[in-house]
Amino acid sequence: SGFRVTGVEQDGETHDALKAGRPHFHEVGLETLLCHHLGKNLRIETDLPQDAEVYVVAVGTPIGDDGAPDILNISAISEEIGKRLTYGDLVVIRSTVPVGTCRNVVLPRLQAGSGLQCGRDFHFSFAPERTVEGKALEELRSLPQIVGGYDANSVDLTANLFRELTTSIITVD
């Protein structure tokens, strides 16, 4: 949709496959899109870029042996983003996380790492990914995108971002 995107993948094998235009999961049409955009408006890196303005977080939150979601990945990436966050940036959580994770895990790490205040210095929202593997590209454009955020500005910025992908946005407090 015209955005310059940096995909961050730290697993060496997956990173190399993506850089070669080979997705590591099944998604109709993904390989063609990946090959088309690589080296143009899409790059695959192992580290977060220094010049990002928008961070869209979609990390795994697997269910552990105890039946509880493992939020180590979301916690770690929140700390990394916090170190790079600058005035005016937007952080969007797409990962499926338990209630309270954004407020009690992500936000404190973003603020501590950056020294910035959410709502004043940067924006923060939650737009959960709700797609079925194999149909995600289609559903991203057809399913309503639900957007909630720290404040009205965060919600508006995120809704405007997703309007570039779909016309169906549902905003929530």
- 117-155 pLDDT, tens per residue? 999 999 999 999 877 677 777 777 778 899 999 999 999
SS3 115: coil
Q: How many CB atoms lie within 10 A of CB 63?
A: 9
Predicted pLDDT at 157: 97
Average pLDDT over residues 85-94: 97
- 62-84 pLDDT, tens per residue? 898 999 889 999 999 999 999 99
Predicted pLDDT at 125: 97
Strands 5-8 and 169-172: unpaired
Q: How many CB atoms lie within 10 A of CB 90?
A: 21
Q: At CA 41, angle to CA 29 and CA 32, rounded to 5?
A: 15
Predicted pLDDT at 25: 84
What span, in angstroms and rounded, lies between the C-alpha atoms of 55 and 89? Answer: 8
Predicted pLDDT at 139: 73
Predicted pLDDT at 103: 95
- 28-63 pLDDT, tens per residue? 888 898 999 999 999 999 999 988 999 999 998 889
SS3 8: strand
Average pLDDT, the chain: 92
Whether residue 23 has pLDDT greater than 80: yes
The closest alpha carbon to 161, from 32, 5, 49, belongs to 5
Q: At CA 171, angle to CA 165 and CA 173, rounded to 5?
A: 145
For residues 73 and 42, is the Cβ–Cβ distance under 8 A? no
